[in-house]
Structure 1
C-alpha cells in the first residue's frame, strides 16, 4: 500500500523498517528496481478510500496505528516507477463503486500505453462506510448491489476499450492531415441502471486494451463475479484445505460461466521470515511479533469485517450472518473452519505474524520446498508475497529464494519485456475470446450479465 501501515499492522515500528519513507519517490523507485531485477511478475497495490472506524466505534485506533492511513494515490507512483523498470508489471486497485468508468478507463489505458502493456486492474467494490460518506453517500451501498453496479461498470469499460476504436482506426496520414478515420471510431451510447456514457474512449487502443483483470471477492456473489470476469484471483492462504477447496470451486465456476478453468490464474497470499538457520528465522519472527500492535490489528479487522472485537467476550463466537462489509474477513475464522474460532482465538491469530496468509519461517531451502508443496497440494498458480520489514524482506527473498525457485523449475527467468497478459497466459496481449469483454470487441451491445450457473 502507498502508506506507512501495511498488512501486519504495527510492523512499521520494527527497528529495520523504512516504511516512513513512503512519501519519498526514491523509496518507490528503489523498490520497483529491486523487484524488476529479481524477476517478480508484478507489484500489486492494495488501496482503500476511507478510515477504519468500526473498532471501538472510533477512527482513533486506525489513525494512531497507521492502519492503511495515511494513504497516497498509487496511480501517481506507478507512473514514475515505469521509468526505471523493464519487465515488472503493476496492478492497481480501483473501485467500481466510487470511480467513473469513463475516467478510469482513460487512466488505465494511459498507463497501459506508457508501460507497453504492463498494467493490471484489481477490481473492487469497496466496503468501508467512511468511504461511502467520503463520496457523498449517507450509508454504504448494500453488498450485492455493489456487485450489480460493478457488472455494469465493467460492461462500460469493455465497450470503451474494446469496441469504440477499430484496430485500424489510426491511419496517421500526414499527406491528407488525417490522424484517425472517423468511421472507425464509435460512440458506445450506453444507458443503464447506474451509468450513461456516450463515448468514444478518449484514448486510442493500448497494447492490452483492457488491462489484466484481478479480483479477490470470496462471498458467493464475489465468486460469481470472479468466475465471469477475473483473469487473476486472490484467495486466502492461511488454511490449506480451504485453499484447495476454494481453488477447485473457482475453476469449476469459471467453467460454468463458459470459460476454461485455465483462463483464471489463482494466486494465494504468502509471507516469509527468512534466516540462515531455523533458529535465526524464529528469532526474527519473534521480533516481528513484538512490533505488531494489537489495537491496530483489531482496528484493521473491524474495518474490513464490520465486527468490533471490543464488544465481545473472549469465549464468544462471531455471528455468521452476512454483512455489507468484506465477507471474506470473518469467513476465515468462521465458515471456512471446521470449528469456528472464539474471539480469543481470533485475537491471537491476528497477532501471530501474517493474520490472513500462510507464513513460512525458516531457511531459503525450506521456504522454496514449502512453496512447491503448496502449489502441488492446492493447485494455485502463484503467490502474492507480503512483507513484514521493508525493504529487508523482499531483498532477502530476491537474493536467496528466487534463485532456488528458478533452479527447481518453478519460475522461468524473464528474458524479454512483454505485456502482463501474455506473460501470464502466453496467448497474446488481448482478452481471449471466451472472456465477456471479447463480446464488446465483436460489436455485441448487451451488458455483461450475471451468469446463469448456480454457485453455492
Structure 2
C-alpha cells in the first residue's frame, strides 16, 4: 500500500565539530573536525542533493554553552556547539555546486540589526536563486547577551515581542522598498534602476527605527521562506503569524500531534489557512541493513559521545545547571528563560521526575530530546510514516551524528524504501524553496500571510 503524501527531509547541521550529540567528531568515520574547511560543506551539499534531501538546515548559536557547571569548559572540551562559525558564509559555496537542494539558515532577532540581516538574506536568496529559508530565533543563551554587551538576557516572552517588531521592519524592506520591475537594466539609456520605483522605508516602533532604502533589489522570493522553532505558547503564537515552516524536538508522537495542532490553529487565528504551516520534528535516525546492525552502530556511537558535552547542551536548552543534580536522581526542572518547550515535552510525556542525569547524558532515546529511531530500513520507514500519519508532521530534521556515513546510510537504505511506498519524491520540483514546499503558492508569500500586508499599497513610504 502506498501513500501520496510526501515526507520532507532536512539534513540538520551546525558549523561546529559536533551539534546535538556532543563528542562524535573523534569517531574514525567522522569528518566533523573539518567543519572549518570549505570541502566539508561542498561535499555535504553534493551528498544531500544526490539523495534528494530537501534542505541543508543550518542551526547556529551566538554564545558558548556555559550553564553546565557554571562555565563553558564542558562544551569547549567536547566541541559541543563550539567553536561555531558563521553559517551564512557557507551557503554560496554549497549553492554553487548544486541546483535544487535548498538551504535554511538561522538568524537571531535579538542581536542582529534588522536592516543588515535583511540585506544578507536578500543576497543569499539572490545567489541561491530562491533556495533560501530563514530560521527565525530569539536566542536562549545568557552568554550571548553578555558577549553582546546587554548584561541580563531579555525574558522569554519579551524576546518574542521584540521579534514581532523586527518582522514588521524586515517585511517592509523586502516587500515595499522596491516595486516590481524597478531594476530595469536598460542598456540603451544606461539606467539600471528606475528611481521612481524605489522607496525609503520610514519605520518607528518601540525597539527599532529605520529611514532607509533596502540595499538589495528584490530576490526571487523577496521574503525568504520563513521557519520558526519556538514551541512554547508564545513561540507558537509567533509561528502562527509568521512561520511557513515550524519545527519542534520531541520523542513523543502524542506531544507532537498536540503541538502540530496548536501550530495549525495558531495559523487560523492569524487569518491563515491551517495548511499554510508545515511542521518538522527533529529526529535521530540510526539505520542498518538489519536491526542488529543498527543497534550495533548505536552501541559504537555510545562509546564516542561526550556525556559532559551532552549535559552542557541540555543545560543550555533547559536553562538549568544540571551539574547540580544527583546523577542517578530524578530531574524536575522549573520554568526558565530558555527553551520552555523541552520542559513542557518532558512533563507532558511523564518523563519529568523520572529521567536521570545519566539518562540525559547517554546517546539513547531520552525524554525531552528529539525522536530516536533505530532499526532496519523497513522499521525506520514504518516509524517515520507513523509519525507522519499519527502526529500529522510534514517532515523531519535529521540530527547529525557521525557524518557523512550516517546521512549516507539514510540516503542508501531509507530513501528508496520511502519512495517504494509513495512517501518520498523521486525528483526535485523546479522553482524556489517556497515553490518546492508549497507548489500552489508561487515564489512570494501567500496572500493570507501577515507579511503580505506590507506590500506597497499597504505601506506609507
TM range (shorter): over 0.9
Question: Residue by residue, what CA displacement relative to the aligned partner does 1:356-389 show, whole Å, maximum 9, x if unpaired?
Answer: 2112211112211221121111111111111311
Partner of 1:449: none
Within a 5 Å distance, the mapping from 1:21-420 to structure 2 comes to 21-313=34-326, 314-320=328-334, 322-334=335-347, 336-338=348-350, 340-342=352-354, 344=356, 346-353=357-364, 355=366, 356-420=369-433
CA distance in 2, matches of 1:276, 1:173: 59
Partner of 1:16: 29
CA distance in 2, matches of 1:117, 1:387: 25
CA distance in 1, matches of 2:304, 2:414: 25
CA distance in 2, matches of 1:394, 1:316: 34
Q: How many residues end up aligned between the 2 structures?
A: 443
Partner of 2:457: 443
Secondary structure of 1:198's match?
A: strand
Higher mean displacement: 41-50 or 6-15: 6-15
Unaligned runs of 5+ in 1: 447-456
CA contact (8 A) 2:283 2:398 kept: yes
CA distance in 2, matches of 1:316, 1:35: 40
CA contact (8 A) 1:7 1:354 kept: no
Question: Residue by residue, what CA displacement relative to the aligned partner does 1:123-174 show, whole Å, maximum 9, x if unpaired?
Answer: 0000111111111111111111111111111111100001110112122223
| CA shift in 2, pair 1:363/1:317, >3 Å | closer
Higher mean displacement: 68-77 or 324-333: 324-333
CA distance in 2, matches of 1:310, 1:74: 30
Deviation at 1:53, TM superposition (A): 1.0
CA distance in 1, matches of 2:311, 2:56: 27
CA distance in 2, matches of 1:152, 1:415: 36
Q: Which consecutive aligned stretches of 4+ in structure 1 deviate over 4 angstroms post-superposition? A: none
CA distance in 2, matches of 1:387, 1:91: 15
Secondary structure of 1:11's match?
A: coil
Deviation at 1:316, TM superposition (A): 4.4
Question: Residue by residue, what CA displacement relative to the aligned partner does 1:222-280 show, whole Å, maximum 9, x if unpaired?
Answer: 11101110000002231111111111111112111111110000011112111121111
CA contact (8 A) 1:125 1:147 kept: yes
Secondary structure of 1:332's match?
A: helix
| CA shift in 2, pair 1:372/1:316, >3 Å | closer
Deviation at 1:339, TM superposition (A): 5.6
CA distance in 2, matches of 1:403, 1:148: 44
CA contact (8 A) 1:8 1:354 kept: no
* Alpha-carbon RMSD: 1.6
| CA shift in 2, pair 1:269/1:343, >3 Å | closer
